[in-house]
Structure 1
Amino acid sequence: MITETIRAFFLIFAAEMGDKTQIIAMTFATQYKVREVLAGVFVGVFLNHGLAIILGRYLSKLIPMGSIQIVAGIMFVIFGLLALKEEEVEKKGNKRSLSPIVTVALAFFIGELGDKTQLTAMTLSAEGNYPLFILAGTILGMLGTSGLGIFIGSKIGKKMPDISIKIISSIVFIFFGTLKLYNWIPVRLLKVSNIKIYFVIILSIYLLLVRRLILRKRYSKHSPIKDAAALLYIQTKLLKEAVDDICLGEEICGNCSGDNCIIGYTKKLLNNARNKEQYYIDQYVDISKLITKDFEERKVIEALSLIIADYITYGMIKDENFIINQIKGYLELILLGEKIRFDGDLFKYIRHIKRINYHIGENLENRIKDKLSSSN
Protein backbone atom coordinates (compact mmCIF):
# COMPACT_ATOMS: atom_id res chain seq x y z
CA MET A 1 0.00 0.00 0.00
CA ILE A 2 2.62 2.50 1.10
CA THR A 3 4.86 1.42 -1.78
CA GLU A 4 2.16 2.37 -4.30
CA THR A 5 1.69 5.75 -2.62
CA ILE A 6 5.43 6.47 -2.68
CA ARG A 7 5.78 5.38 -6.30
CA ALA A 8 2.79 7.50 -7.36
CA PHE A 9 4.18 10.51 -5.49
CA PHE A 10 7.63 10.10 -7.01
CA LEU A 11 6.37 9.77 -10.59
CA ILE A 12 3.91 12.68 -10.41
CA PHE A 13 6.48 14.88 -8.65
CA ALA A 14 9.03 14.12 -11.36
CA ALA A 15 6.47 14.63 -14.13
CA GLU A 16 5.40 18.07 -12.95
CA MET A 17 8.86 19.51 -12.26
CA GLY A 18 9.25 22.45 -14.64
CA ASP A 19 5.82 21.70 -16.15
CA LYS A 20 3.26 24.36 -17.01
CA THR A 21 1.12 23.58 -13.95
CA GLN A 22 4.03 24.36 -11.63
CA ILE A 23 4.39 27.76 -13.28
CA ILE A 24 0.62 28.27 -12.99
CA ALA A 25 0.82 27.52 -9.25
CA MET A 26 3.59 30.09 -8.91
CA THR A 27 1.49 32.64 -10.81
CA PHE A 28 -1.61 32.05 -8.69
CA ALA A 29 0.53 32.55 -5.58
CA THR A 30 1.13 36.13 -6.69
CA GLN A 31 -2.64 36.74 -6.68
CA TYR A 32 -4.00 34.64 -3.81
CA LYS A 33 -2.89 33.40 -0.41
CA VAL A 34 -0.67 30.32 -0.43
CA ARG A 35 -3.19 28.23 1.53
CA GLU A 36 -5.91 29.15 -0.98
CA VAL A 37 -3.73 28.08 -3.90
CA LEU A 38 -2.81 24.76 -2.27
CA ALA A 39 -6.45 24.11 -1.33
CA GLY A 40 -7.46 24.78 -4.93
CA VAL A 41 -4.73 22.47 -6.22
CA PHE A 42 -5.94 19.75 -3.85
CA VAL A 43 -9.57 20.01 -5.00
CA GLY A 44 -8.73 20.21 -8.71
CA VAL A 45 -6.26 17.32 -8.62
CA PHE A 46 -8.53 15.19 -6.39
CA LEU A 47 -11.33 15.43 -8.97
CA ASN A 48 -9.05 15.07 -11.99
CA HIS A 49 -6.94 12.15 -10.75
CA GLY A 50 -9.93 10.57 -9.01
CA LEU A 51 -11.63 10.38 -12.40
CA ALA A 52 -8.46 8.96 -13.96
CA ILE A 53 -8.13 6.28 -11.28
CA ILE A 54 -11.78 5.21 -11.67
CA LEU A 55 -11.20 4.83 -15.42
CA GLY A 56 -7.95 2.97 -14.76
CA ARG A 57 -9.68 0.46 -12.48
CA TYR A 58 -12.36 -0.07 -15.12
CA LEU A 59 -9.78 -0.71 -17.84
CA SER A 60 -7.91 -3.21 -15.66
CA LYS A 61 -11.00 -5.43 -15.66
CA LEU A 62 -11.26 -5.42 -19.44
CA ILE A 63 -7.62 -5.66 -20.52
CA PRO A 64 -5.07 -8.33 -19.46
CA MET A 65 -2.45 -7.15 -16.96
CA GLY A 66 0.45 -7.97 -19.30
CA SER A 67 -0.97 -5.71 -22.00
CA ILE A 68 -1.58 -2.92 -19.46
CA GLN A 69 2.01 -3.13 -18.24
CA ILE A 70 3.43 -2.98 -21.77
CA VAL A 71 1.21 -0.01 -22.67
CA ALA A 72 2.21 1.64 -19.37
CA GLY A 73 5.89 1.15 -20.20
CA ILE A 74 5.45 2.67 -23.66
CA MET A 75 3.47 5.59 -22.22
CA PHE A 76 6.11 6.26 -19.56
CA VAL A 77 8.84 6.39 -22.20
CA ILE A 78 6.71 8.77 -24.29
CA PHE A 79 6.05 10.93 -21.20
CA GLY A 80 9.79 11.02 -20.58
CA LEU A 81 10.43 12.33 -24.08
CA LEU A 82 7.53 14.80 -23.85
CA ALA A 83 9.05 16.18 -20.63
CA LEU A 84 11.71 17.77 -22.84
CA LYS A 85 9.10 19.73 -24.75
CA GLU A 86 8.67 23.45 -24.11
CA GLU A 87 5.13 24.27 -23.03
CA GLU A 88 3.34 27.56 -23.38
CA VAL A 89 1.75 28.93 -20.22
CA GLU A 90 -1.53 30.64 -20.96
CA LYS A 91 -2.07 33.98 -19.31
CA LYS A 92 -5.49 33.96 -17.67
CA GLY A 93 -7.23 37.00 -16.35
CA ASN A 94 -8.45 37.18 -12.78
CA LYS A 95 -11.86 35.58 -12.37
CA ARG A 96 -13.25 37.95 -9.80
CA SER A 97 -16.67 36.27 -9.80
CA LEU A 98 -15.22 33.04 -8.39
CA SER A 99 -13.51 32.42 -5.08
CA PRO A 100 -9.73 31.89 -5.18
CA ILE A 101 -10.03 28.19 -4.28
CA VAL A 102 -12.64 27.53 -6.98
CA THR A 103 -10.61 29.49 -9.56
CA VAL A 104 -7.43 27.50 -8.84
CA ALA A 105 -9.34 24.19 -8.67
CA LEU A 106 -10.94 24.81 -12.08
CA ALA A 107 -7.61 25.81 -13.61
CA PHE A 108 -5.91 22.63 -12.37
CA PHE A 109 -8.83 20.33 -13.19
CA ILE A 110 -9.07 21.62 -16.76
CA GLY A 111 -5.32 22.02 -17.18
CA GLU A 112 -4.66 18.39 -16.22
CA LEU A 113 -7.33 16.88 -18.50
CA GLY A 114 -5.49 14.58 -20.88
CA ASP A 115 -2.16 15.68 -19.41
CA LYS A 116 0.61 13.16 -18.74
CA THR A 117 -0.01 13.27 -14.98
CA GLN A 118 -3.67 12.30 -15.42
CA LEU A 119 -2.68 9.49 -17.77
CA THR A 120 0.03 8.44 -15.31
CA ALA A 121 -2.56 8.26 -12.52
CA MET A 122 -4.81 6.18 -14.79
CA THR A 123 -1.96 3.81 -15.66
CA LEU A 124 -0.85 3.38 -12.04
CA SER A 125 -4.43 2.62 -11.03
CA ALA A 126 -4.86 0.02 -13.77
CA GLU A 127 -1.82 -1.92 -12.59
CA GLY A 128 -2.09 -1.28 -8.84
CA ASN A 129 -4.13 -2.85 -6.08
CA TYR A 130 -4.86 0.12 -3.82
CA PRO A 131 -6.48 2.97 -5.80
CA LEU A 132 -7.03 5.22 -2.76
CA PHE A 133 -3.35 5.03 -1.84
CA ILE A 134 -2.39 5.76 -5.45
CA LEU A 135 -4.73 8.77 -5.43
CA ALA A 136 -3.11 9.98 -2.19
CA GLY A 137 0.34 9.65 -3.79
CA THR A 138 -0.64 11.55 -6.95
CA ILE A 139 -2.26 14.36 -4.97
CA LEU A 140 0.78 14.65 -2.68
CA GLY A 141 3.02 14.73 -5.76
CA MET A 142 1.04 17.60 -7.28
CA LEU A 143 0.93 19.48 -3.98
CA GLY A 144 4.69 18.97 -3.66
CA THR A 145 5.53 20.43 -7.07
CA SER A 146 2.96 23.20 -6.69
CA GLY A 147 4.36 24.07 -3.26
CA LEU A 148 7.85 24.15 -4.72
CA GLY A 149 6.60 26.41 -7.53
CA ILE A 150 5.08 28.75 -4.96
CA PHE A 151 8.31 28.71 -2.94
CA ILE A 152 10.32 29.58 -6.05
CA GLY A 153 7.81 32.31 -6.78
CA SER A 154 8.28 33.74 -3.29
CA LYS A 155 12.07 33.60 -3.66
CA ILE A 156 11.82 34.78 -7.25
CA GLY A 157 15.30 36.26 -7.42
CA LYS A 158 16.87 32.80 -7.26
CA LYS A 159 17.68 31.07 -10.51
CA MET A 160 15.80 27.94 -11.41
CA PRO A 161 17.68 25.52 -13.66
CA ASP A 162 14.77 24.81 -16.03
CA ILE A 163 16.69 22.53 -18.39
CA SER A 164 18.22 20.41 -15.62
CA ILE A 165 14.82 19.84 -14.05
CA LYS A 166 13.28 18.77 -17.36
CA ILE A 167 16.16 16.41 -18.10
CA ILE A 168 15.93 14.75 -14.66
CA SER A 169 12.16 14.39 -15.01
CA SER A 170 12.63 12.87 -18.45
CA ILE A 171 15.21 10.33 -17.25
CA VAL A 172 12.94 9.19 -14.38
CA PHE A 173 10.06 8.38 -16.73
CA ILE A 174 12.21 6.73 -19.40
CA PHE A 175 13.90 4.59 -16.73
CA PHE A 176 10.62 3.32 -15.25
CA GLY A 177 9.11 2.84 -18.70
CA THR A 178 12.11 0.84 -19.93
CA LEU A 179 12.07 -1.27 -16.76
CA LYS A 180 8.40 -2.11 -17.31
CA LEU A 181 8.97 -3.08 -20.92
CA TYR A 182 11.91 -5.29 -19.95
CA ASN A 183 9.86 -7.10 -17.29
CA TRP A 184 6.69 -7.61 -19.36
CA ILE A 185 7.65 -7.93 -23.01
CA PRO A 186 7.75 -11.60 -24.10
CA VAL A 187 11.20 -13.16 -23.62
CA ARG A 188 11.40 -14.15 -27.30
CA LEU A 189 11.50 -10.46 -28.22
CA LEU A 190 14.26 -9.59 -25.75
CA LYS A 191 17.07 -10.26 -28.16
CA VAL A 192 20.30 -8.29 -27.89
CA SER A 193 19.74 -6.87 -31.37
CA ASN A 194 16.23 -5.65 -30.45
CA ILE A 195 17.48 -4.11 -27.21
CA LYS A 196 20.24 -2.29 -29.11
CA ILE A 197 17.75 -0.96 -31.67
CA TYR A 198 15.47 0.23 -28.85
CA PHE A 199 18.24 2.13 -27.07
CA VAL A 200 19.59 3.62 -30.32
CA ILE A 201 16.12 4.95 -31.20
CA ILE A 202 15.37 6.28 -27.70
CA LEU A 203 18.85 7.82 -27.30
CA SER A 204 18.68 9.46 -30.74
CA ILE A 205 15.27 11.01 -30.05
CA TYR A 206 16.37 11.99 -26.54
CA LEU A 207 19.55 13.75 -27.69
CA LEU A 208 17.65 15.50 -30.50
CA LEU A 209 15.04 16.85 -28.06
CA VAL A 210 17.68 17.89 -25.49
CA ARG A 211 19.63 19.72 -28.19
CA ARG A 212 16.45 21.45 -29.36
CA LEU A 213 15.56 22.40 -25.78
CA ILE A 214 19.03 23.84 -25.13
CA LEU A 215 19.00 25.81 -28.38
CA ARG A 216 15.53 27.22 -27.67
CA LYS A 217 16.58 28.23 -24.17
CA ARG A 218 19.78 29.79 -25.47
CA TYR A 219 18.06 31.92 -28.08
CA SER A 220 14.75 32.47 -26.34
CA LYS A 221 14.37 35.86 -24.74
CA HIS A 222 11.55 34.82 -22.44
CA SER A 223 10.94 32.26 -19.72
CA PRO A 224 8.09 32.58 -17.18
CA ILE A 225 10.37 32.33 -14.17
CA LYS A 226 13.17 34.47 -15.59
CA ASP A 227 10.65 37.10 -16.72
CA ALA A 228 9.16 37.22 -13.22
CA ALA A 229 12.62 37.49 -11.66
CA ALA A 230 13.62 40.25 -14.06
CA LEU A 231 10.38 42.12 -13.36
CA LEU A 232 10.87 41.98 -9.60
CA TYR A 233 14.49 43.09 -9.98
CA ILE A 234 13.41 46.12 -12.03
CA GLN A 235 10.58 46.94 -9.61
CA THR A 236 12.89 46.98 -6.59
CA LYS A 237 15.49 48.97 -8.54
CA LEU A 238 13.00 51.72 -9.46
CA LEU A 239 11.52 51.72 -5.96
CA LYS A 240 14.97 51.94 -4.39
CA GLU A 241 15.79 54.97 -6.52
CA ALA A 242 12.52 56.63 -5.49
CA VAL A 243 13.09 55.88 -1.78
CA ASP A 244 16.70 57.08 -1.98
CA ASP A 245 15.32 60.34 -3.38
CA ILE A 246 12.98 60.71 -0.37
CA CYS A 247 15.89 60.50 2.07
CA LEU A 248 16.72 64.00 3.29
CA GLY A 249 20.45 63.40 3.59
CA GLU A 250 22.75 64.52 6.38
CA GLU A 251 22.92 68.07 5.01
CA ILE A 252 19.27 68.63 5.93
CA CYS A 253 18.65 65.84 8.42
CA GLY A 254 21.82 66.11 10.47
CA ASN A 255 23.23 62.85 11.84
CA CYS A 256 21.68 59.91 9.98
CA SER A 257 19.31 57.86 12.12
CA GLY A 258 19.97 54.79 9.97
CA ASP A 259 17.60 51.89 10.58
CA ASN A 260 15.77 53.88 13.25
CA CYS A 261 14.35 56.15 10.54
CA ILE A 262 11.36 54.84 8.59
CA ILE A 263 13.02 55.69 5.27
CA GLY A 264 16.39 54.39 6.47
CA TYR A 265 14.75 51.10 7.42
CA THR A 266 12.96 50.99 4.05
CA LYS A 267 16.29 51.46 2.26
CA LYS A 268 17.72 48.57 4.28
CA LEU A 269 14.85 46.29 3.19
CA LEU A 270 15.37 47.16 -0.46
CA ASN A 271 19.12 46.63 -0.21
CA ASN A 272 18.54 43.20 1.35
CA ALA A 273 16.07 42.33 -1.41
CA ARG A 274 18.43 43.26 -4.22
CA ASN A 275 21.70 42.05 -2.72
CA LYS A 276 20.61 39.08 -0.59
CA GLU A 277 17.30 38.13 -2.30
CA GLN A 278 15.39 38.66 0.95
CA TYR A 279 11.94 39.52 -0.40
CA TYR A 280 10.07 38.68 2.79
CA ILE A 281 10.35 40.17 6.28
CA ASP A 282 10.95 37.39 8.77
CA GLN A 283 10.83 39.45 11.96
CA TYR A 284 8.34 41.89 13.45
CA VAL A 285 9.33 45.56 13.59
CA ASP A 286 7.29 48.13 15.53
CA ILE A 287 6.97 50.84 12.89
CA SER A 288 5.50 53.28 15.40
CA LYS A 289 8.92 53.47 17.07
CA LEU A 290 10.71 54.46 13.86
CA ILE A 291 11.50 58.13 13.36
CA THR A 292 9.33 59.97 10.80
CA LYS A 293 10.75 63.23 9.50
CA ASP A 294 9.56 66.07 7.31
CA PHE A 295 9.89 64.19 4.05
CA GLU A 296 8.93 65.88 0.80
CA GLU A 297 5.35 64.93 -0.01
CA ARG A 298 5.87 64.90 -3.77
CA LYS A 299 8.68 62.34 -3.54
CA VAL A 300 6.73 60.05 -1.22
CA ILE A 301 3.75 60.18 -3.60
CA GLU A 302 6.08 59.29 -6.48
CA ALA A 303 7.35 56.17 -4.68
CA LEU A 304 3.85 55.08 -3.64
CA SER A 305 2.49 55.58 -7.17
CA LEU A 306 5.19 53.21 -8.47
CA ILE A 307 3.93 50.43 -6.20
CA ILE A 308 0.23 50.90 -6.95
CA ALA A 309 0.82 51.14 -10.72
CA ASP A 310 2.80 47.88 -10.60
CA TYR A 311 0.05 46.21 -8.57
CA ILE A 312 -2.49 47.12 -11.24
CA THR A 313 -0.25 46.17 -14.17
CA TYR A 314 1.33 42.95 -12.90
CA GLY A 315 -0.83 41.84 -9.97
CA MET A 316 0.20 41.72 -6.34
CA ILE A 317 1.57 39.16 -3.91
CA LYS A 318 -0.91 39.18 -1.04
CA ASP A 319 1.48 38.04 1.69
CA GLU A 320 1.75 40.92 4.17
CA ASN A 321 5.41 40.07 4.82
CA PHE A 322 6.34 40.71 1.18
CA ILE A 323 8.60 43.76 1.32
CA ILE A 324 6.82 45.79 -1.36
CA ASN A 325 3.56 45.43 0.59
CA GLN A 326 5.39 46.53 3.74
CA ILE A 327 6.98 49.53 2.02
CA LYS A 328 3.58 50.56 0.63
CA GLY A 329 2.33 50.71 4.22
CA TYR A 330 5.33 52.77 5.37
CA LEU A 331 4.80 55.33 2.61
CA GLU A 332 1.09 55.59 3.48
CA LEU A 333 2.00 56.14 7.13
CA ILE A 334 4.30 59.02 6.13
CA LEU A 335 1.65 60.62 3.91
CA LEU A 336 -1.57 59.88 5.79
CA GLY A 337 -0.69 58.58 9.24
CA GLU A 338 -2.30 55.19 8.54
CA LYS A 339 -2.13 52.20 6.20
CA ILE A 340 -4.75 51.90 3.45
CA ARG A 341 -6.01 48.56 2.14
CA PHE A 342 -5.65 47.99 -1.61
CA ASP A 343 -7.55 45.10 -3.24
CA GLY A 344 -6.94 45.97 -6.88
CA ASP A 345 -9.70 48.59 -7.12
CA LEU A 346 -7.93 51.91 -7.77
CA PHE A 347 -11.12 53.98 -7.52
CA LYS A 348 -11.95 52.65 -4.05
CA TYR A 349 -8.33 53.07 -2.88
CA ILE A 350 -8.10 56.70 -4.06
CA ARG A 351 -11.54 57.50 -2.67
CA HIS A 352 -10.43 56.29 0.76
CA ILE A 353 -7.30 58.45 0.61
CA LYS A 354 -9.23 61.54 -0.56
CA ARG A 355 -11.45 61.24 2.49
CA ILE A 356 -8.33 61.58 4.64
CA ASN A 357 -6.51 64.16 2.51
CA TYR A 358 -8.07 65.22 -0.79
CA HIS A 359 -4.93 66.98 -2.04
CA ILE A 360 -2.70 63.91 -1.56
CA GLY A 361 -5.34 61.63 -3.07
CA GLU A 362 -5.66 63.81 -6.15
CA ASN A 363 -1.90 64.02 -6.72
CA LEU A 364 -1.42 60.29 -6.14
CA GLU A 365 -4.23 59.42 -8.56
CA ASN A 366 -2.70 61.60 -11.28
CA ARG A 367 0.76 60.04 -10.86
CA ILE A 368 -0.64 56.50 -10.95
CA LYS A 369 -2.66 57.22 -14.08
CA ASP A 370 0.40 58.80 -15.75
CA LYS A 371 2.42 55.64 -15.08
CA LEU A 372 -0.34 53.35 -16.28
CA SER A 373 -0.81 55.30 -19.52
CA SER A 374 2.94 55.41 -20.22
CA SER A 375 3.24 51.62 -19.75
CA ASN A 376 0.48 50.89 -22.31
Structure 2
Amino acid sequence: MEHAFLVSAGAVALAEMGDKTQLLSLVLAARYRKPLPIILGVLAATLINHAGAGALGAWLGSLITPSIMRWALAASFVAMGLWILVPDKLDEGEADVNRSRLGVFGATVVTFFIAEMGDKTQIATVALAARFHDFFGVVAGTTLGMMIANVPAILLGDRFAHKLPTKLVHGIAAVLFVVLGAFALFGNGF
Protein backbone atom coordinates (compact mmCIF):
# COMPACT_ATOMS: atom_id res chain seq x y z
CA MET A 1 0.00 0.00 0.00
CA GLU A 2 2.81 2.42 0.83
CA HIS A 3 4.27 2.32 -2.70
CA ALA A 4 0.87 2.91 -4.36
CA PHE A 5 0.08 5.70 -1.89
CA LEU A 6 3.37 7.56 -2.39
CA VAL A 7 3.43 7.28 -6.19
CA SER A 8 -0.24 8.32 -6.40
CA ALA A 9 0.20 11.30 -4.07
CA GLY A 10 3.30 12.56 -5.87
CA ALA A 11 1.95 12.08 -9.37
CA VAL A 12 -1.34 13.82 -8.67
CA ALA A 13 0.19 16.66 -6.64
CA LEU A 14 2.46 17.49 -9.58
CA ALA A 15 -0.23 16.95 -12.21
CA GLU A 16 -2.66 19.21 -10.34
CA MET A 17 -0.36 22.26 -10.36
CA GLY A 18 -1.95 24.76 -12.73
CA ASP A 19 -4.82 22.36 -13.45
CA LYS A 20 -8.33 23.72 -13.91
CA THR A 21 -9.41 22.41 -10.51
CA GLN A 22 -6.57 24.32 -8.89
CA LEU A 23 -7.76 27.40 -10.77
CA LEU A 24 -11.26 26.65 -9.49
CA SER A 25 -9.87 26.55 -5.93
CA LEU A 26 -8.54 30.07 -6.47
CA VAL A 27 -11.92 31.23 -7.79
CA LEU A 28 -13.75 29.68 -4.83
CA ALA A 29 -11.30 31.24 -2.36
CA ALA A 30 -11.70 34.68 -3.95
CA ARG A 31 -15.49 34.39 -4.12
CA TYR A 32 -16.27 33.09 -0.64
CA ARG A 33 -13.20 33.97 1.46
CA LYS A 34 -13.98 31.07 3.82
CA PRO A 35 -11.07 28.63 3.51
CA LEU A 36 -12.22 25.87 5.89
CA PRO A 37 -15.54 25.01 4.18
CA ILE A 38 -13.81 25.27 0.80
CA ILE A 39 -11.02 22.90 1.88
CA LEU A 40 -13.57 20.46 3.32
CA GLY A 41 -15.64 20.71 0.13
CA VAL A 42 -12.60 20.00 -2.05
CA LEU A 43 -11.76 17.02 0.17
CA ALA A 44 -15.31 15.62 -0.01
CA ALA A 45 -15.59 16.11 -3.79
CA THR A 46 -12.16 14.56 -4.35
CA LEU A 47 -12.90 11.53 -2.16
CA ILE A 48 -16.17 10.86 -3.98
CA ASN A 49 -14.69 11.43 -7.43
CA HIS A 50 -11.48 9.49 -6.88
CA ALA A 51 -13.26 6.63 -5.10
CA GLY A 52 -15.36 6.15 -8.24
CA ALA A 53 -12.27 6.44 -10.46
CA GLY A 54 -10.32 4.06 -8.22
CA ALA A 55 -13.15 1.52 -8.29
CA LEU A 56 -13.27 1.72 -12.09
CA GLY A 57 -9.50 1.27 -12.27
CA ALA A 58 -9.55 -1.70 -9.90
CA TRP A 59 -12.36 -3.29 -11.91
CA LEU A 60 -10.54 -2.74 -15.21
CA GLY A 61 -7.36 -4.12 -13.64
CA SER A 62 -9.16 -7.33 -12.76
CA LEU A 63 -10.60 -7.81 -16.28
CA ILE A 64 -7.58 -7.19 -18.45
CA THR A 65 -4.77 -9.69 -18.88
CA PRO A 66 -1.38 -8.64 -17.47
CA SER A 67 0.16 -8.32 -20.93
CA ILE A 68 -2.58 -6.04 -22.25
CA MET A 69 -2.60 -4.15 -18.94
CA ARG A 70 1.12 -3.43 -19.26
CA TRP A 71 0.68 -1.89 -22.70
CA ALA A 72 -2.52 -0.03 -21.79
CA LEU A 73 -0.93 1.45 -18.66
CA ALA A 74 2.24 2.42 -20.48
CA ALA A 75 0.21 4.18 -23.17
CA SER A 76 -2.08 5.88 -20.64
CA PHE A 77 0.80 7.15 -18.49
CA VAL A 78 2.67 8.51 -21.52
CA ALA A 79 -0.57 10.12 -22.79
CA MET A 80 -1.09 11.68 -19.34
CA GLY A 81 2.46 13.03 -19.45
CA LEU A 82 1.78 14.70 -22.78
CA TRP A 83 -1.67 15.95 -21.70
CA ILE A 84 -0.14 17.65 -18.66
CA LEU A 85 1.89 19.84 -21.01
CA VAL A 86 -1.34 21.32 -22.43
CA PRO A 87 -2.33 24.31 -20.26
CA ASP A 88 -5.76 24.08 -18.63
CA LYS A 89 -8.36 26.79 -18.76
CA LEU A 90 -11.35 27.05 -16.48
CA ASP A 91 -14.53 27.02 -18.58
CA GLU A 92 -17.22 29.60 -17.92
CA GLY A 93 -19.68 27.00 -16.60
CA GLU A 94 -17.08 25.42 -14.32
CA ALA A 95 -16.21 28.78 -12.81
CA ASP A 96 -19.86 29.49 -11.97
CA VAL A 97 -19.77 29.23 -8.21
CA ASN A 98 -22.93 31.19 -7.57
CA ARG A 99 -24.69 28.33 -5.83
CA SER A 100 -25.61 30.32 -2.73
CA ARG A 101 -28.50 28.10 -1.66
CA LEU A 102 -26.00 25.27 -1.16
CA GLY A 103 -23.70 27.27 1.11
CA VAL A 104 -19.94 27.49 0.72
CA PHE A 105 -19.32 23.79 1.44
CA GLY A 106 -22.12 22.55 -0.85
CA ALA A 107 -21.19 24.91 -3.67
CA THR A 108 -17.59 23.76 -3.42
CA VAL A 109 -18.49 20.05 -3.44
CA VAL A 110 -20.80 20.35 -6.45
CA THR A 111 -18.62 22.69 -8.49
CA PHE A 112 -15.37 20.88 -7.74
CA PHE A 113 -16.87 17.43 -8.40
CA ILE A 114 -18.20 18.54 -11.79
CA ALA A 115 -14.91 20.20 -12.75
CA GLU A 116 -12.97 17.05 -11.85
CA MET A 117 -15.07 14.79 -14.13
CA GLY A 118 -12.84 13.57 -16.96
CA ASP A 119 -9.94 15.65 -15.67
CA LYS A 120 -6.31 14.50 -15.81
CA THR A 121 -6.19 13.56 -12.15
CA GLN A 122 -9.38 11.51 -12.36
CA ILE A 123 -8.02 9.56 -15.33
CA ALA A 124 -4.67 9.18 -13.58
CA THR A 125 -6.54 7.70 -10.59
CA VAL A 126 -8.15 5.10 -12.87
CA ALA A 127 -4.76 4.17 -14.34
CA LEU A 128 -2.99 4.06 -10.96
CA ALA A 129 -5.71 1.89 -9.41
CA ALA A 130 -5.56 -0.48 -12.38
CA ARG A 131 -1.78 -0.66 -12.08
CA PHE A 132 -1.37 -1.09 -8.34
CA HIS A 133 -4.47 -3.16 -7.52
CA ASP A 134 -4.62 -1.11 -4.30
CA PHE A 135 -7.88 0.83 -4.21
CA PHE A 136 -7.36 2.40 -0.78
CA GLY A 137 -3.69 3.26 -1.27
CA VAL A 138 -4.35 4.90 -4.64
CA VAL A 139 -7.48 6.81 -3.57
CA ALA A 140 -5.80 8.00 -0.36
CA GLY A 141 -2.69 9.01 -2.32
CA THR A 142 -4.50 10.81 -5.14
CA THR A 143 -6.71 12.59 -2.61
CA LEU A 144 -3.65 13.71 -0.65
CA GLY A 145 -2.04 14.88 -3.90
CA MET A 146 -5.13 16.97 -4.70
CA MET A 147 -5.07 18.51 -1.22
CA ILE A 148 -1.32 19.25 -1.43
CA ALA A 149 -1.94 21.21 -4.63
CA ASN A 150 -5.24 22.87 -3.74
CA VAL A 151 -5.00 23.81 -0.06
CA PRO A 152 -2.17 26.33 -0.60
CA ALA A 153 -4.13 27.81 -3.51
CA ILE A 154 -7.16 28.20 -1.25
CA LEU A 155 -5.21 29.64 1.66
CA LEU A 156 -2.87 31.92 -0.25
CA GLY A 157 -5.05 32.79 -3.23
CA ASP A 158 -3.61 34.89 -6.03
CA ARG A 159 -0.35 35.57 -4.19
CA PHE A 160 0.52 31.87 -4.49
CA ALA A 161 -0.77 31.22 -8.02
CA HIS A 162 1.29 33.86 -9.78
CA LYS A 163 4.59 32.80 -8.18
CA LEU A 164 4.31 29.11 -9.00
CA PRO A 165 6.55 28.08 -11.92
CA THR A 166 3.77 26.05 -13.55
CA LYS A 167 5.70 25.28 -16.75
CA LEU A 168 8.50 23.74 -14.69
CA VAL A 169 6.06 21.81 -12.49
CA HIS A 170 4.14 20.59 -15.56
CA GLY A 171 7.43 19.51 -17.15
CA ILE A 172 8.39 17.53 -14.04
CA ALA A 173 4.92 15.95 -13.88
CA ALA A 174 5.08 15.05 -17.59
CA VAL A 175 8.45 13.37 -17.12
CA LEU A 176 7.11 11.53 -14.06
CA PHE A 177 4.17 10.13 -16.02
CA VAL A 178 6.40 9.08 -18.93
CA VAL A 179 8.72 7.35 -16.44
CA LEU A 180 5.68 5.63 -14.88
CA GLY A 181 4.74 4.50 -18.39
CA ALA A 182 8.21 3.10 -18.98
CA PHE A 183 8.13 1.31 -15.63
CA ALA A 184 4.68 -0.09 -16.42
CA LEU A 185 6.01 -1.45 -19.70
CA PHE A 186 9.49 -2.61 -18.75
CA GLY A 187 9.77 -2.65 -14.96
CA ASN A 188 9.05 -5.79 -13.01
CA GLY A 189 8.96 -4.23 -9.56
CA PHE A 190 6.79 -1.23 -10.40
TM-score by length of 2: 0.88
1:34 deviates by 1.1
Matched, 1:155 2:163: no
1:182 deviates by 2.6
Structure 1 Cα separation of the partners of residues 112 and 24 of structure 2: 9
Matched, 1:13 2:13: yes
Across the two proteins, how many residue pairs are aligned to each other? 184
Q: Which residue is equivalent to 1:176?
A: 180
Secondary structure (helix, strand or coil) at the match of 1:30 reads helix
Match of 1:105 among 104, 109, 123: 109
The answer to whether the 8 A contact 1:152-1:158 is kept is: no
Q: Which residue is equivalent to 2:80?
A: 79
Say which structure, 1 or 2, has more relative contact order (CA 8 Å, 6+ apart).
2
Structure 1 Cα separation of the partners of residues 174 and 155 of structure 2: 23
The answer to whether the 8 A contact 1:79-1:170 is kept is: yes
Structure 2 Cα separation of the partners of residues 9 and 182 of structure 1: 22
Structure 2 Cα separation of the partners of residues 118 and 29 of structure 1: 22
Residue 42 of structure 1 aligns with an amino acid whose one-letter code is L
The answer to whether the 8 A contact 1:22-1:149 is kept is: yes
Secondary structure (helix, strand or coil) at the match of 2:100 reads coil
1:163 deviates by 1.8
1:152 deviates by 4.2
Q: Provide, for residues 294-321 of structure 1, a one-character-per-residue CA deviation record: whole Å limited to 9, x for no partner.
A: xxxxxxxxxxxxxxxxxxxxxxxxxxxx
1:75 deviates by 0.8
Structure 1 Cα separation of the partners of residues 148 and 105 of structure 2: 17
| Bigger mean CA offset, 77-86 vs 148-157 | 148-157
Q: Provide, for residues 174-208 of structure 1, a one-character-per-residue CA deviation record: whole Å limited to 9, x for no partner.
A: 12112222337xxxxxxxxxxxxxxxxxxxxxxxx
Structure 2 Cα separation of the partners of residues 183 and 158 of structure 1: 38
Q: Structure 1 43/93 Cα, relative in aligned 2: closer, same or farther at 3 Å?
A: closer
**Structure richer in helix, relative to its length:** 2
Structure with higher Rg: it is: 1
1:156 deviates by 4.9
Q: Structure 1 151/172 Cα, relative in aligned 2: closer, same or farther at 3 Å?
A: farther
Structure 2 Cα separation of the partners of residues 64 and 9 of structure 1: 26
Q: Which residue is equivalent to 2:70?
A: 69
Q: Provide, for residues 73-122 of structure 1, a one-character-per-residue CA deviation record: whole Å limited to 9, x for no partner.
A: 11111111111112221231421111211111112211111222111111
Q: Which residue is equivalent to 1:47?
A: 48
The Cα RMSD (Å) is: 1.9
Q: Provide, for residues 331-361 of structure 1, a one-character-per-residue CA deviation record: whole Å limited to 9, x for no partner.
A: xxxxxxxxxxxxxxxxxxxxxxxxxxxxxxx
Matched, 1:114 2:118: yes
